[in-house]
Each structure stands twice: as C-alpha cells, then as structure tokens.
C-alpha cells in the first residue's frame, strides 16, 4: 500500500510528539528528586553544599570563582522559598516546615543589617545580596534591586495565610507581620524609584519588578485586613492601583512587553515570561491587565521572546517555528558569551502549562487579534474567536501547545548532564553546561515547571477582576515611571569610555536619583553598545543637575576629571545626553 504524503507527514508528527512526551515523562521522573535534593543542598546550615551558610540562608550556587555566586540573593531566596512554602501549605511535603521557620528567622536578622543601600529605615531593604553568614556585602554592585522585598513578602504572606487557616493567627500577628510589613512599606514608598533589573545590569524601571511589587501590595492589604492592621490598608491599595496603572505602560505597539524602560535593548527578555509565571493567579483566568499566562498579551509576548533566539544559537539551527528552542535572558546578552539558561527555557514551558491549566478549567480559550500570531503557529487557519473545549479547534490548539511546552523541557533534558546537575547556563554552540554549577534557581525553576505540567497551581492572590484606574499618580523623586510622571523626566546618559576587562562605568550626581554623589551606590551603566555605556534614569523635571562618571575596577574607584558635568532637565518628555569620558 502506498501512503499519501500528507498521511506520512501526519504519522511523523505523531511519532515525534509521542517520542517527546516519553522523553519528558522520563526526564521529569529522574530529575525531580535530583532537583529537590540540589535545591535543599544549597540551604544552610545543613545543606551538603552550603557550608558556612547560616540557618535559612540560600546560597545562589556553591561556585566561588568564575563566577563567584557564593552569596545569598534576596530575590533568588524568595523564589526558592516560594516553592518550599507551597510544598508545606499545599501538603505536598510538610517536613519542609522547619526550613521555612529558619528562613523567617534569617529574614528578620538580615533586614536589620546595615549595608551599602542603607539601614532598615533608609533603603537597606533594597540591598540585593549578602554574605552567607548574613553580614553585609560591601563590594561594588548594581544596587538597589527593589524586587526582593516584594517577592519575600509574597512568600511569607502565603505562609501567613496558611497559618491563619490553621488557627495560628497569633504567630502571624506577633512574629510574621512585622517582617512582612517592613518589606511592604519599602515597596509602597519606593515602587516608582529606579531599580536595577532582574539581571542586575540595567538601572531604570523593570516590568518584573513592577508586577511583583503590585502583587505584594495587593496581598499585603488583604492580609492586613484579615489580622486587623487596618492603618496600612488604604496606603497599600492606593499604591497597588498606581502600580497596576504603570504596569500597562510596558506593553508596546509592536506586540510584546518591553522589559525595562532603559538599557538600550530590544526589550525582548525572559524577565517578561518570568513575570507571568510568578504572578500567576489560577482564579484570574486570562486577564490581560495583570498579564496572566494565558492572556493575549502574555502569549504574543512569549512568541516574540522565543523567536528572538531561533537564529542566534547554533543549537537551535534547523528547528521549525512550531517547535521549542533553547532560550536565554535576552538576545543581546554577552555574559559568559551570551548563552541559553536552564531557568529561562523552563519558564517558557511553565507559562504554557499554566495557560493550559486555565483553559481546561474554564472550558474554553479565546483567540484575539493580539494573540492570533501565537495561535497561528499551531493552526495556520485559526481565526479570532472563542473556542469551547468541546470544539475540534480547542483540542487541536491545546494538544499542539502542550507538545510545544513539552519541547522546552525536552531541550533542557537534552542538555542536562547524566548526573542531573543544573548549572546556570548551557553553551549556545554545543549545549554544554557552563557558568555557575548547581544553581539553586535552576533547580527551583525545574520543580515549578514540573509542578505546573502536573496541574499544580499556587493559591490565588487577588488578581481576578482588577481594573486599571482612569488616572495614575506616583511619588515624587527619581521614580520609575519611564518619563512623564508629572514630576520626572527620563534622561538617558550615554558615555563613550574604553575599558579593560573587568572594569565598569558608573554614574552619580547631585540628586537622589543619582545617589547624591555616593560612589558606593553609583548607578551602573550597561555596556551593551560598548564602547558606549548607557543608563536611563528618571530625574526631577525643570531641575539643574550636576553629575560625573566613575570607573570601578578591582575595588578601586576612578573619578572623571573636573569640573562636574551639568545639565538642566526639561519640563516633560525625555532627553538623551551623549558624553565622552574625560
């Protein structure tokens, strides 16, 4: 019998999908216990790879050279403990409760540590990382990073809600709430100040930071109401509304989310995909206002993010457009040669698994003009409309998208070594593990993606039914509004400066947004367009500003020659300054 070409092609696709699913099932069964063990090995004091770390301290990686990640990051730790807390509160592994208690105690201590970002009352909660003995890290770094307090408060609020449900409100009120409130107050007071982004390279406003800050204040207001701390509720809700308003501005007219308001890049960034999965609310449906995983905006953005890596990594060569590929942080990345990351590739899978959970729960999916290009990858003839789960279109699309999601896990499986260890990156040319070994965040990302594939969901955080205010406002100062916030304007500083390897350029100046002439807290510039270094900052409008660039290398600081640089900001809009190091 002679088979038609179409039938042969169909058989090949079915065989390929069966192979991929079998591969993924096998990988998850093997990798899940390895990832859990790898994550716990990096938590002090008893983790096998966390020697020297205090109880509850998460080390980013045991790697102490090239790169040195033997520190504890507020952001990474919060994401790791978000997974651990879910295991406890959803009764998947209640033996981890002692780890949570250690983390709470460690957080209470670390919040009190004075550091280069300030004290507990003057900005120190925005310090991104600490030594693993909980002492301050005082070296040069991209600080502050304002996502950490939001993520940490969110994790602890989830635990607090579980405790209240188990008749332990006294502990929540007396012990947990003071810790949580410090972080929430920091978010409410600093949400529109400039921040270093998720990757610690760009100082501007960050989509990820704005979104997790919004979530934290929503949850914080709800918890405060529940335990009678009503004095803070209105303030948290007011700033949450402003954050939700600002969050919409990251969506651009090119069909994707611009990850940062500064940095001089395309804006296509894993930051945006990670945002969808870390602000996932299973009760919010496909809400586009909060960029839920199945929203038209998030799906359109995912397509453009993934496609940005198809032609730049050799290991992606020849892979069809409807199949998964290795993805990295952003296409312009040059760190360690600019490679795919395990956690970013897994994040793409997780967003799709989350979307499938919601579509199946609500019994339908909607294709809009915004998400149409995404869905057409899987069915070229699909048109805008709503498709019930009983329709063949729903089945065709969800089956193809499930296979697509599995494909990202299969990519990770392909480039995971036999021992299951997950580094930070795998090389763009050969898929060889590189950079920091046993990255805790990589293990956490594997566990959350595997959980989503199995249909596991986090608790709702209140994203359902939110509406964007008709008018938005923000704090005064060097806010993160991307310009035009009434009191600030966006100023991009470009400086031509040739450097040696390991040397970096920073900016400081005469106003709060430029760190008031502090060399320790000076703003790091991006070298993405080397030898031009750049940073975008929101500065007070109609204001005379003085500033200087400085060099940092091996702990030494070199200032530009006198006199100070000077400019006067306009009353609105934005401005770009082009300078040369002198």
Could you give the CA distance from residue 482 to residue 533 in angstroms, rounded to a whole number? 19
Contact (CB, 8 A) for 328 and 381: no
Q: Are strands 532-540 and 526-529 parallel, antiparallel or unpaired?
A: antiparallel
Per-residue tokens: 391: 């329709």
- Check 200, 503, 512, 546 and give the catalytic one: 200
> Which residue is it, tokens 């948290």?
236
Torsion of CA 96, 98, 104, 109, to 10 degrees: -130
- Residue 195 is inside which H or E element, if any? strand 195-196
Per-residue tokens: 429: 């040319």
Catalytic residue status for 185: no
Per-residue tokens: 26: 């096998």
Contact (CB, 8 A) for 299 and 374: yes
Contact (CB, 8 A) for 255 and 373: yes
Neighbouring residues of 556: CB distance < 8 A, sequence distance ≥ 6: none
Q: How far is CA 441 from CA 15, 29, 104, 423, 535, in A?
A: 33, 19, 19, 9, 27
Could you give the CA distance from residue 578 to residue 23 in angstroms, rounded to a whole number? 52
Q: Is 474 helix (H, G, I), strand (E, B) or coil?
A: coil
- Check 134, 183, 185, 197 and give the catalytic one: 197
Closest listed residue to residue 279, CA positions, set 99, 238, 271, 19:
271
Tell me, rounded to whole angstroms, the distance of Cα 193 from its chain centroid: 18
How long a stretch of residues is the chain? 582
Catalytic residue status for 147: no
Contact (CB, 8 A) for 240 and 217: yes
Largest CA distance in the chain: 86
Neighbouring residues of 444: CB distance < 8 A, sequence distance ≥ 6: 35, 39, 79, 80, 83, 343
Residue 450 CB-density burial (10 A; 0-12 exposed, 13-18 middle, 19+ buried): buried
∠ Cα 57 62 65 (to 5°)? 125
Could you give the CA distance from residue 545 to residue 562 in angstroms, rounded to a whole number? 15
Could you give the CA distance from residue 263 to residue 198 in angstroms, rounded to a whole number? 12
Q: Is 452 helix (H, G, I), strand (E, B) or coil?
A: helix
Q: Residue 209: which region, alpha, beta or left (left: phi > 0; alpha: psi -120 to 50)?
A: alpha
Q: In what order do the strands lie in the sheet with 526-529?
A: 526-529, 532-540, 488-496, 574-580
Closest listed residue to residue 478, CA positions, set 68, 204, 294:
204
Catalytic positions, please? 197, 200
């Amino acid at each position: 019998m002679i088979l038609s070409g179409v039938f042969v092609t169909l058989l090949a696709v079915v065989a390929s999908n069966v192979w991929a699913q079998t591969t993924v099932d096998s990988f998850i069964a093997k990798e899940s216990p390895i990832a859990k063990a790898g994550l716990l090995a990096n938590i002090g004091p008893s983790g096998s790879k966390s020697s020297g770390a205090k109880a509850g301290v998460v080390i980013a990686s045991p790697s102490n050279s090239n790169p040195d990640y033997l520190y504890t990051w507020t952001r990474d730790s919060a994401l790791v403990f978000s997974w651990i807390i879910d295991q406890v509160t959803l009764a998947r592994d209640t033996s981890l409760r002692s780890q949570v208690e250690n983390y709470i105690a460690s957080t209470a201590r670390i919040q009190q540590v004075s550091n280069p970002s300030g004290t507990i009352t003057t900005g120190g909660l925005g310090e991104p990382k600490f030594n693993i003995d909980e002492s301050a890290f005082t070296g040069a770094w991209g600080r502050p990073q304002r996502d950490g307090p939001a993520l940490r408060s969110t994790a602890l609020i989830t635990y607090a809600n579980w405790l209240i449900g188990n008749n332990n409100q006294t502990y929540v009120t007396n012990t947990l709430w003071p810790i949580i409130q410090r972080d929430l107050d920091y978010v409410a007071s600093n949400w529109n100040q400039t921040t270093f982004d998720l990757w610690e390279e760009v100082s501007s406003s960050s989509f990820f930071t704005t979104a997790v800050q919004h979530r934290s204040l929503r949850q914080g207001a709800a918890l405060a109401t529940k335990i009678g701390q009503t004095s803070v509720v209105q303030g948290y809700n007011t700033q949450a509304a402003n954050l939700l308003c600002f969050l919409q501005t990251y969506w651009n007219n090119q069909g994707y989310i611009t990850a940062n308001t500064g940095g001089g890049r395309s804006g296509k960034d894993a930051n945006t995909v990670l945002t969808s999965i870390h602000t996932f609310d299973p009760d919010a449906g496909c809400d586009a206002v909060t960029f839920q995983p199945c929203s038209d905006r998030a799906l359109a953005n995912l397509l453009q993010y993934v496609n940005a890596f198809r032609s730049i990594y050799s290991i992606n060569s020849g892979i069809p457009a409807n199949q998964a590929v290795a993805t990295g942080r952003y296409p312009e990345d040059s760190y360690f040669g600019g490679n795919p990351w395990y956690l970013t590739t897994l994040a793409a899978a997780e967003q799709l698994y989350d979307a499938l959970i919601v579509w199946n729960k609500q019994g339908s999916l909607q294709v809009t003009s915004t998400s149409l290009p995404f869905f057409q990858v899987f069915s070229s003839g699909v048109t805008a409309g709503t498709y019930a789960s009983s329709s063949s279109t729903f089945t065709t699309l969800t089956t193809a998208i499930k296979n697509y999601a599995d494909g990202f896990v299969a990519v990770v499986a392909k480039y995971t070594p036999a021992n299951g260890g997950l580094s930070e990156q795998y090389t763009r040319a050969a898929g060889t593990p590189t950079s920091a070994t046993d990255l805790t965040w990589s293990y956490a990302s594997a566990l959350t993606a595997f959980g989503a594939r199995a249909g596991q969901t986090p608790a709702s955080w209140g994203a359902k039914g939110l509406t964007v205010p008709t008018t938005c406002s923000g704090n005064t100062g060097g806010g993160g509004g991307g310009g035009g916030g009434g009191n600030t304007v966006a100023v991009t500083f470009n400086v031509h400066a040739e450097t040696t390897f390991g040397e970096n350029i920073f900016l400081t100046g005469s106003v709060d947004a430029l760190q008031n002439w502090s060399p320790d807290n000076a703003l790091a510039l991006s070298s993405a367009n080397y030898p031009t270094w750049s940073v975008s900052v929101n500065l007070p409008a109609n204001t005379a500003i003085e500033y200087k660039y400085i060099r940092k290398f091996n702990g030494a600081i070199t200032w530009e020659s006198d006199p100070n640089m000077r400019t006067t900001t306009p009353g609105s809009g934005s401005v770009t300054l082009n300078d040369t190091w002198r």
